[in-house]
A and B are shown apart, each in its own frame.
Chain A
Amino acid sequence: MYTCREMGISTVAVYSEADRKAVHVLRADQSVFLGDSDPAESYLNIDKIIAAAKQTGAEAIHPGYGFLAENPLFAERCESERLVFIGPPSKVIRELGDKTVARRTVMGSGVAVIPGMNKPESDTRVLAGEAEKIGYPVLIKAAAGGGGKGMRVVTSPGDFNEACASATSEAKRAFSDGSIYLEKYLSRPRHIEFQIVADRQGNVVHLFERECSIQRRHQKIIEETPSPIMTPELRERMGKAAVAVAKASGYVNAGTVEFLVDQDKKFYFLEVNTRLQVEHPITEMTTGLDIVRIQLEVACGNPLPVRQEDVRGRGHAIECRIYAEDPEKGFYPSPGRIIYMEEPSGPGIRNDCGIYSGFQVPVEYDPILSKLIVYAEDRSQAIKRMIQALESYIILGVKTPVHFLIDVLKSEAFIKGDTSTDFIDTHFCGWKPDRCYADAACAAYIIDELNPAVKPKAATGQAGTEMSPWQTLGLWGR
């Protein structure tokens, strides 16, 4: 929305019942109510979203990161309704969305893929045979999946059948498609992805890598660029591979080619995310480019504003995702009301924040609160800056992984850059916060209670939390 405003483009937000008071709704030029909190009635309801666009006279739709962002039917519908879908053509989304088709496309472009199957399979016996061929440990994945749903690691043939059954049913629930396939499970790999941007004229440029190895529940929580293991030579090879994948699939707009990199720095293609990624700001920080602006330019039919040789990376950027979740209880979501919050600020700190004091974190959706991004001259400075920013970040009312993230950033393994996708399981299994934090908070509270005279009047809580219709009715009457 900031980019649109810079470019003089008016924005329309859509929202569901649960998001009535969400930041995106309050910040847009106008907003349209879709319906009930259930995504099927709102954010996944193609008809309603198209109707909202028509009603407000919108010319283009930016699908964001979630919900319909990688749904080929939605992109197709936009195309048929003569609305510009800010993303790749529906055909590309469909092909790259099916992971086995994606694998075949990529193999055709000469990029290495992880040893595994090229098409989904439902017969357990065939699957077991494939598993033997690939060699244990193997990874079961959902053909239609993402975000770790329907994923299982199997280390011995004895556990194979049961794992297949549970992965199939989970995939069916999550994507209403239970088909699965197998891949070689790499031990302690790194997750490294390349940001690519492509225009309709056939130019493809990569904007370097992001390392997103620090994951919990198969979801990234800390991302950084450049990767600590990257060398100019490896970057050159991986970047070329990413561009080759994009060209082979006829890619247009912004996307991400994900790779796994093993201990010997051999890299394997994982998948293409056909949308803007949550972690795109770190690339913006180091390259100085506004990826959303590039998306809009490309969607307008303009050529890419940069050539590969113009793209320069400088310094180091890290992003931490702040969710409403409990790091002591397996990062389980912890929705609730934000009683009070204070954002970190300072040079090189950017907080893309979706909450405010008094905000009710909806139980209905992925409980991401904000993305904290820092930029500094080098990796060690960036780590220090992120620690400082996290330490000054106050969020009261819901559990957050802020202290957990501080401990990860302070750990020897992270500082050395010794990261892999099982980093948290290896180093932070059963993590508990240092009692000091809680004790200090209790002490501060007691001191505050004992000295009522110095308490600032109505600093927190009730005052000003009530919303009048002047805040909730949008452009009523205008």
Chain B
Amino acid sequence: MDVIETKINTTSDEYRRNYESMVARVAEVKEELRKARDDRPQKAKDRIASQGKMPIREKLERLLDRNTPFLEIAPLAGRGMYDGMIHGGGLVCGVGVVCGKEVIITGNDATIKGGATYPMTMKKTLRVQTMSMQNRLPIITLIDSAGGYLPMQSEVFPDIDDGGRIFYNQSIMSKMGIPQITAVMGLCTAGGAYVPAMSDEVIHVKGIGAIFLGGPPLVKAATGEEVTAEQLGGADLHCRESGVSDYYAEDDAHAIEIIRNILYCLPLREKARLPMHEPKPPLYDPKEIYGIVSKEFKVPYDVRELIARIVDGSEFLEFKELFGPTVICGWAYIHGYPVGIIGNNGVLFPDSSMKAAQFIQLCDKRRIPLIFLQNINGFIIGREYERGGIAKHGHKMVMAQACATVPKFTVIVGASFGAGNYAMCGRAYNPRFLWMYPNAEIAVMGGEQASGVLVTLRKDQLTKEGLPPMNEEEEETIRNPIIEASKKESNALYSTSQLWDDGILDPVDTRDALGLAISASLNAPIPDDVFGYGIFRM
């Protein structure tokens, strides 16, 4: 296969500027990750130690197979919200390997507000359930939760994507045959009681774990009965009398051993198979991505240079190289898996939209996973293009992409603006995994454009009302707040705190993250009997 020949000059000023900027951004993200992982009050750490509980990271270390990766999901969710204390939404979630089987693991971090459920905790739980369903990955839940955070109950209880959805999903997942293994390693109160109850198998830790619909304070208030948590919902009660729990564990370590035994015995259907090649690393150093990705979106860069540092042997078969050049489509291998890659080299024109729509159909028909590398300002606008039917050509790409049944993966490697986000498989289009680069931005449009639009609207209004036009200063008072808000609310750290993505990737990790994700996605069969689309407007 043809190798992508790089045209990057690693000694140029531009390369150096980009590189330094990316190094700084990666360092910033790493520092945020460190905080989310380690910054806990000593008091909280001491409390769980005195309760005989193992810290969540240690539970993970014991649960995962030795010397295997952990693909953490949304470690910075909830960053900056709720006084900045609810690191990762209070949950540690990720994909890992237990007894050779790829699984999703989700566990409460009891050093954060006793594992209480905040709105972001809810959103993250629903996200991993979705991932479990889309990829048919067994889900292991290590629960230690004080229950819903009552002062915010209106945001975690009533709506479609609130508390009830978790148990709805658990029912559907069980019906789908997705194993759900839950270890009760702390309190599971009220709604929380249903998490184990709805699971396939429950491990209950003696003296620490307790399941009840109403906790001791509520019981006392309602009936005057004085009981301890252990008497009301401990391991002995639920393993010997009620039958709510299935396995009796002496401590956290024992519970984890039991989970590993369950996984050992768990029969899993064979993974979907793709015609693989022997994996080989790219010819170019992935670290060079730092110098390739532009510091400013205004400066375009060739997405092929990125592809060359992600795919096996830097080998890439480009499709329709001479047609619709603002979108790059082609075939390659990543960690031995065949993939179809779509990347942006500019805004989408009618020809590039049709090219991408055709390429997506080819990959779908051939059961080749799709990878989207988003760096897109949107579709082309202007009278000429409207007349040429850009809307219907854009529609073809969106339709093909939305209806494709092969696994899709999205990495936002620059701008993700407007309908470009949709066509390039944004969050709403169900990519199995979606990550952002530290420099990426996501919004309906760039801050400059948005403020420009608002200024124009105001000017038109003034003209209509026969009022004098605005001066520079007045324009600025409209422009500045929009640009400020955009800076604050479209950057990668903001996006990831809102769970609009599954995490921020260090660009050097792109290839490995994709390889791990593709492997995980193959736990779900790739159906070939539902191939088809809606009506393509011609």
Report if B387 contacts A (CB, 8 A): no
Report if A26 contacts B (CB, 8 A): yes
CA distance A162 to B491 in the complex (A): 77
For window 298-351 of B, CB contacts with A under 8 Å fall at: 335-336
Task: Considering the complex, give the chain A residue whose CB is closest to the CB of B273.
Answer: A466
Centre residue among B68, B279, B520 by max chain A CB count within 10 A: B68
Residues of chain A contacted by B50 (CB below 8 angstroms) = none
Residues of chain B contacted by A445 (CB below 8 angstroms) = none
Residues of chain B contacted by A26 (CB below 8 angstroms) = 67
Given contacts A466-B276, A469-B335, contact A31 B67 (CB under 8 A): yes
Report if B55 contacts A (CB, 8 A): no
Given contacts A476-B512, A476-B516, contact A470 B68 (CB under 8 A): yes
Residues of chain A contacted by B520 (CB below 8 angstroms) = 470
Q: Which of A27, A29, A31, A478 contacts B69 (CB 8 A)?
A: A478
Report if B97 contacts A (CB, 8 A): yes
CA distance A475 to B60 in the complex (A): 13
- Type the 1/0 row for A18-35, where 1 means its CB is closer than 8 Å to any CB of B: 000000001111110000
Question: Is the Cβ of B516 less than 8 Å from the Cβ of A470?
Answer: yes
Centre residue among B67, B69, B72, B519 by max chain A CB count within 10 A: B67
For window 447-478 of A, CB contacts with B under 8 Å fall at: 466-478
Q: Which of A29, A468, A476 contacts B66 (CB 8 A)?
A: A29
Centre residue among B64, B509, B516 by max chain A CB count within 10 A: B516
Question: Is the Cβ of A473 less than 8 Å from the Cβ of B512?
Answer: yes
Residues of chain A contacted by B71 (CB below 8 angstroms) = 476-477
For window 507-521 of B, CB contacts with A under 8 Å fall at: 509, 512, 515-516, 519-520
Residues of chain B contacted by A28 (CB below 8 angstroms) = 67
Question: Is the Cβ of B69 less than 8 Å from the Cβ of A470?
Answer: yes
CA distance A29 to B97 in the complex (A): 14
Task: Please give the distance in Å from A268's CB to the nearest CB on chain B.
Answer: 46
Given contacts A466-B276, A469-B515, A469-B519, contact A474 B335 (CB under 8 A): no
For window 60-94 of B, CB contacts with A under 8 Å fall at: 61, 64, 66-72, 94
Task: Please give the distance in Å from B386's CB to the nearest CB on chain A.
Answer: 45
Report if B501 contacts A (CB, 8 A): no
CA distance A30 to B64 in the complex (A): 13
Centre residue among A29, A469, A478 by max chain B CB count within 10 A: A469
Residues of chain B contacted by A30 (CB below 8 angstroms) = 67
Task: Considering the complex, give the chain B residue whose CB is closest to the CB of A13.
Answer: B67
DSSP majority for the B interface?
mixed
CA distance A30 to B335 in the complex (A): 20
Task: Considering the complex, give the chain A residue whose CB is closest to the CB of B271.
Answer: A468
Question: Is the Cβ of B67 less than 8 Å from the Cβ of A477?
Answer: no
- Type the 1/0 row for A309-338, where 1 means its CB is closer than 8 Å to any CB of B: 000000000000000000000000000000
CA distance A471 to B97 in the complex (A): 9
Residues of chain B contacted by A31 (CB below 8 angstroms) = 67
CA distance A477 to B512 in the complex (A): 10
Question: Is the Cβ of A470 less than 8 Å from the Cβ of B519?
Answer: yes
Q: Which of A27, A470, A473, A474 contacts B102 (CB 8 A)?
A: A470
Residues of chain B contacted by A467 (CB below 8 angstroms) = 279
CA distance A31 to B67 in the complex (A): 8
Q: Which of B61, B67, B276, B279 contacts A474 (CB 8 A)?
A: B67
CA distance A471 to B67 in the complex (A): 8
CA distance A466 to B509 in the complex (A): 22
CA distance A7 to B515 in the complex (A): 35
Given contacts A466-B276, A468-B519, contact A476 B69 (CB under 8 A): yes
CA distance A335 to B430 in the complex (A): 47
Task: Considering the complex, give the chain B residue whose CB is closest to the CB of A30.
Answer: B67
- Type the 1/0 row for B478-510, where 1 means its CB is closer than 8 Å to any CB of A: 000000000000000000000000000000010
Task: Considering the complex, give the chain A residue whose CB is closest to the CB of B102.
Answer: A470
CA distance A230 to B449 in the complex (A): 92
Given contacts A475-B69, A476-B69, A477-B70, contact A469 B516 (CB under 8 A): yes
Task: Considering the complex, give the chain B residue whose CB is closest to the CB of A468.
Answer: B519
CA distance A27 to B66 in the complex (A): 8
Residues of chain A contacted by B279 (CB below 8 angstroms) = 467, 469, 472
Question: Is the Cβ of A478 less than 8 Å from the Cβ of B70?
Answer: yes
CA distance A353 to B56 in the complex (A): 35
Residues of chain B contacted by A470 (CB below 8 angstroms) = 68-69, 97, 102, 516, 519-520
Given contacts A468-B519, A469-B519, contact A477 B336 (CB under 8 A): no
Task: Please give the distance in Å from A426's CB to the nearest CB on chain B.
Answer: 46
Residues of chain B contacted by A27 (CB below 8 angstroms) = 66-67
Residues of chain A contacted by B336 (CB below 8 angstroms) = 466
CA distance A55 to B532 in the complex (A): 51
CA distance A470 to B71 in the complex (A): 10
Task: Considering the complex, give the chain A residue whose CB is closest to the CB of B67.
Answer: A474
CA distance A470 to B97 in the complex (A): 7
Question: Is the Cβ of B64 less than 8 Å from the Cβ of A473?
Answer: no
- Type the 1/0 row for A416-433, where 1 means its CB is closer than 8 Å to any CB of B: 000000000000000000
Task: Please give the distance in Å from B335's CB to the nearest CB on chain A.
Answer: 5
Question: Is the Cβ of A475 less than 8 Å from the Cβ of B276?
Answer: no
For window 231-249 of A, CB contacts with B under 8 Å fall at: none
Task: Please give the distance in Å from A31's CB to the nearest CB on chain B.
Answer: 6
Task: Please give the distance in Å from B272's CB to the nearest CB on chain A.
Answer: 12
Question: Is the Cβ of A29 less than 8 Å from the Cβ of B67?
Answer: yes
Ordered by A's residue number, 27 sampled pairs between the chains whose C-beta atoms are within 8 Å are A27-B67, A31-B67, A466-B336, A468-B516, A469-B69, A469-B335, A469-B515, A469-B519, A470-B68, A470-B97, A470-B516, A470-B520, A471-B68, A473-B68, A473-B512, A473-B515, A473-B516, A475-B67, A475-B68, A475-B69, A476-B70, A476-B509, A476-B516, A477-B70, A477-B71, A477-B72, A477-B509
Q: A27-B67, A466-B276, A469-B515 are in contact. List 8 more A-B contacts (CB 8 A).
A: A29-B66, A469-B279, A469-B512, A470-B97, A476-B70, A476-B509, A476-B512, A478-B70
Residues of B within 8 A of A (CB): 61, 64, 66-72, 94, 97, 102, 276, 279, 335-336, 509, 512, 515-516, 519-520
A-B pairs, 4 with minimum CB distance: A476-B69, A469-B515, A468-B519, A469-B335
Residues of A within 8 A of B (CB): 26-31, 466-478
